[in-house]
């Protein structure tokens, strides 16, 4: 049953990518390769670089994925596998894909501007500053928390340290051979992948762990220094080749898990049945499924962070307009496939090695005994990794070395994706500071180095609010709602853009209303909870975010009402 549902999801994603994604590309945005993209008109060899669509897809997908499509679905199955499955399969197609695709196309047609600048052009100047604060808070938390998570993951999977850091020279080699020497991307990307998995095999024998109580803080400092370097380098030097390798890693990892599930299905059909309940509406200690399912699963269905990647880095690399369907909509579909595989691993694979189905159910119940037990980072990642490794043992056996190797493969895959999101977020935050510098005529902030220092420095300050580097956890309880609220607000900006262009907007406005309603509901619930627990910092920030939310919606309604005014029509013609 578990593998059958995953197969249904796979077919659904491919069919809808072709037909629904194709409809949006051809009928709504009318993608035209005769139009010159921003990557060409503003080409600078650093950020604006026309690039092969598969390389940009690799960068985009690995950047938007991170840990989101893993930890969200792995936790959400506590409410049962069916709600998680439905939200991932429907949300990806009708909300997430629309959101990512729209942000990419509008940015690509408007000089590669980020979402806050696009909002200024589409809705109005005041909206730009509202959006700035939402985007800043989002990226501020992402950079600080992902640096912390990288440190935790390196401690969890010490065998992943060597291969993850060796990926950097391998990516530099791939960049040199393809972009400097003109060698075949296809050939050298396969050599790079082979080298990568050689380092994975070596990593099993040389796990690296920083000793002492400050290991995580040391890793945070190392990661932020790396982010600074990665953010100021030309995209084709490190960002593109490393993300392309990561995309291949993902394909390999997903292929191994799928192969394991398929072999398990034939060797022991009952072993891959769902051990998670179909629906579990009231897990111990968990918040209500409505609206919190739609906040818990973000990247696997829709995520505001994706718009920051679409309009931050990916839009500046699109070679031809028609490439954007693969990059924007296809990147989201790829993430939906990954999230479906996570649900299979956590809801079925976790109990796959149990001798009987009741025994498998007991394994699952122990892992998901309560919200408190299941919501920890180690528990969420463990639910996925353990389930995936269990399924792969049907192919590769259960010897200690093979299990260690499979665990390392999964660990490298997870850590690499977290690192990709981290330095992409840093580059996106750099763009935000540079745009603010241009708006305020602060020449010193327009340079990439000062803006990157601001991006990294503010994240470091947040992380070190607590001496153990966990300062970002103070704001983390708000991240889910802020992230999903950003997604709803970006869909709002896309809707206003389409209305002003006199193009059908229902495909964007319907998921927009759903996301704003659900996330505002969740935000209000969180604010009430912060008041009850006397967490006045989050209570205050929550109210600020709620006011910004309502304010931006009002600004958008005004913009839509004035869409037919002569001045608005003239502005719409100037917006790409």
Q: What is the pLDDT of residues 378-405, one digit of tens each?
A: 788 888 888 888 888 888 887 888 888 8
> Do residues 58 and 324 make contact, with C-beta atoms less than 8 angstroms apart?
no
Q: DSSP string covering 252-272, please?
A: HHHHHHHHHHHHHHHH-GGGG
- Give first-to-last CA distance, the chain, whole Å: 47
Looking at residue 472, its pLDDT comes to 85
Mean pLDDT across 510-532:
93
Across 142-180, b (16+ Cβ under 10 Å) vs e yields: bbbbbbbbbbbbbebbbbbbbbbbbbbebbeebbebbbe
Its pTM stands at 0.89
Rounded to whole angstroms, the Cα distance separating 422 from 139 reads: 9
Q: Is the pLDDT of residue 246 over 80?
A: yes
Please report, for the domain that includes residue 388, its CATH number: 1.10.4160
> Do residues 507 and 98 make contact, with C-beta atoms less than 8 angstroms apart?
yes
Q: Which domain holds residue 450?
A: 2-574
Percent of the chain whose pLDDT exceeds 70: 97
Across the chain, mean pLDDT equals: 89
Looking at residue 46, its pLDDT comes to 87
> Do residues 165 and 225 make contact, with C-beta atoms less than 8 angstroms apart?
no
Cis omega (within 30 of 0) for bond into 291 = yes
Looking at residue 576, its pLDDT comes to 66
The CA R_g of the chain, rounded to the nearest whole Å, is 23
> 3-state SS string over 130-199?
HHHHHHHHHHHHHHHHHHHHHHHHHHHCHHHHHHHHHHHHHHHHHHHHHHHCCCCHHHHHHHHHHHHHHH
Rounded to whole angstroms, the Cα distance separating 308 from 303 reads: 10
Looking at residue 563, its pLDDT comes to 64
Report the greatest alpha carbon distance in the chain.
Answer: 73
Among the ranges 87-96, 237-246, 481-490, which has the highest mean pLDDT value? 87-96
Mean pLDDT across 193-221:
91
Across 9-19, b (16+ Cβ under 10 Å) vs e yields: beebbeebbee
**Helix boundaries (H) for 233-376:** 239-267, 289-296, 304-310, 323-324, 330-347, 357-367, 371-374
CA-wise closest residue to 167 among 64, 256, 238:
238
Tell me how many helices (H) and strands (E) the chain has.
Answer: 27, 0
Rounded to whole angstroms, the Cα distance separating 284 from 293 reads: 15
Minimum mean pLDDT range among 215-229, 336-350, 464-478:
464-478
Q: Domain count of the chain?
A: 1
Q: What is the pLDDT of residues 128-180, one digit of tens each?
A: 777 788 888 889 988 998 898 888 889 888 999 999 999 999 999 999 999 88
Mean pLDDT across 199-212:
90
Looking at residue 195, its pLDDT comes to 94
Rounded to whole angstroms, the Cα distance separating 85 from 300 reads: 10
> Do residues 250 and 193 make contact, with C-beta atoms less than 8 angstroms apart?
no
Compute CA distances 258 → 1, 6, 376, whole Å: 14, 9, 26
Rounded to whole angstroms, the Cα distance separating 180 from 530 reads: 54
Mean pLDDT across 478-497:
89
Among the ranges 316-325, 440-449, 525-534, which has the highest mean pLDDT value? 316-325
Compute CA distances 404 → 157, 235, 400, whole Å: 10, 34, 6
Degrees to nearest 5, angle at CA 85 with 510 and 414: 105
What percentage of the chain's residues is helix, strand, coil (to nearest 5)?
80, 0, 20
Rounded to whole angstroms, the Cα distance separating 23 from 506 reads: 13
Looking at residue 451, its pLDDT comes to 95
Taking each helix axis from N to C terminus, what angle separates 97-108 and 506-532, rounded to the nearest 10 degrees?
A: 110
Q: Is the pLDDT of residue 425 over 60?
A: yes
Looking at residue 71, its pLDDT comes to 87
Looking at residue 569, its pLDDT comes to 45
Looking at residue 270, its pLDDT comes to 63
Percent of the chain whose pLDDT exceeds 90: 48
Minimum mean pLDDT range among 62-66, 334-338, 453-457, 510-514:
62-66
Phi/psi of residue 18, nearest 5 degrees = -70, -45
Mean pLDDT across 264-269:
73
Q: Which two tokens stand for residue 90?
A: 């429907």
Looking at residue 377, its pLDDT comes to 75
Q: Is the pLDDT of residue 415 over 80?
A: yes
């Amino acid at each position: 049953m578990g593998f059958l549902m995953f197969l249904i999801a796979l077919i659904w994603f491919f069919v809808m990518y072709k037909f629904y994604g194709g409809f949006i590309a051809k009928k709504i945005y009318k993608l035209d390769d005769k139009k010159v993209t921003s990557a060409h008109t503003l080409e600078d060899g650093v950020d604006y670089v026309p690039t092969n669509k598969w390389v940009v897809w690799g960068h985009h997908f690995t950047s938007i994925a991170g840990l989101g499509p893993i930890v969200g679905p792995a936790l959400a199955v506590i409410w049962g596998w069916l709600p998680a499955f439905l939200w991932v399969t429907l949300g990806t197609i009708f909300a997430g894909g629309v959101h990512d695709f729209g942000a990419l196309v509008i940015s690509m047609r408007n000089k590669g501007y980020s979402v806050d600048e696009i909002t200024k052009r589409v809705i109005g100047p005041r909206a730009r500053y509202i959006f700035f604060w939402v985007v800043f808070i989002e990226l501020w938390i992402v950079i600080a928390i992902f640096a912390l998570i990288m440190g935790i993951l390196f401690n969890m999977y010490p065998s992943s340290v060597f291969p993850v850091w060796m990926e950097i020279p391998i990516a530099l080699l791939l960049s040199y051979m393809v972009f400097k020497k003109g060698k075949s991307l296809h050939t050298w990307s396969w050599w790079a992948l082979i080298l990568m998995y050689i380092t994975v095999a070596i990593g099993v024998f040389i796990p690296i762990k920083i000793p002492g109580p400050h290991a995580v803080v040391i890793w945070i400092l190392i990661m932020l220094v790396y982010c600074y370097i990665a953010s100021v380098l030309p995209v084709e030097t490190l960002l593109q080749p490393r993300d392309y390798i990561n995309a291949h890693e993902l394909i390999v990892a997903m292929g191994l898990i799928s192969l394991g599930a398929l072999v398990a299905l034939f060797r022991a059909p009952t072993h891959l049945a769902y051990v998670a309940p179909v629906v579990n509406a009231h897990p111990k200690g968990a918040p209500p499924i409505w609206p919190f399912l739609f906040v818990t699963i973000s990247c696997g269905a829709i995520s505001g962070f994706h718009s920051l990647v679409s309009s931050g880095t990916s839009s500046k690399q699109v070679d031809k307009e028609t490439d954007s369907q693969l990059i924007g909509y296809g990147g989201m579909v790829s993430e939906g496939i990954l999230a479906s595989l996570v649900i299979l691993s956590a809801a079925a694979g976790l109990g796959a090695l149990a001798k009987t189905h009741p025994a498998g159910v007991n394994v699952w119940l122990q892992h998901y005994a309560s919200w408190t037990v299941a919501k920890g980072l180690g528990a969420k990642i463990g639910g996925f990794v353990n389930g995936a490794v269990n399924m792969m043992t049907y192919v590769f056996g259960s010897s200690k070395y093979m299990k260690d190797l499979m665990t390392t493969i999964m660990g490298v895959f997870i850590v690499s994706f977290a690192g990709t999101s981290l330095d992409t977020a840093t580059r996106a935050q750099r763009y935000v500071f540079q745009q603010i510098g241009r708006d305020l005529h602060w020449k010193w902030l327009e340079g990439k180095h000062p803006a990157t220092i601001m991006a990294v420095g503010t994240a470091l300050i947040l992380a070190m609010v607590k001496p153990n580097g966990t300062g970002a956890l103070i704001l983390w309880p708000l991240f889910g709602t802020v992230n999903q609220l950003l997604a709803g607000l970006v869909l709002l900006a896309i809707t206003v853009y389409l209305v002003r262009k006199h193009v059908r907007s229902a495909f964007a406005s319907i998921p927009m209303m759903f996301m704003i309603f659900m996330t505002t509901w969740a935000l209000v619930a969180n604010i009430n909870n912060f008041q009850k627990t006397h967490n006045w910092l989050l209570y205050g920030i929550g109210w600020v975010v709620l006011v910004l939310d309502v304010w931006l919606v009002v600004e958008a309604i005004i913009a839509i009402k004035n869409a037919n005014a002569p001045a608005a029509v003239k502005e719409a013609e100037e917006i790409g």
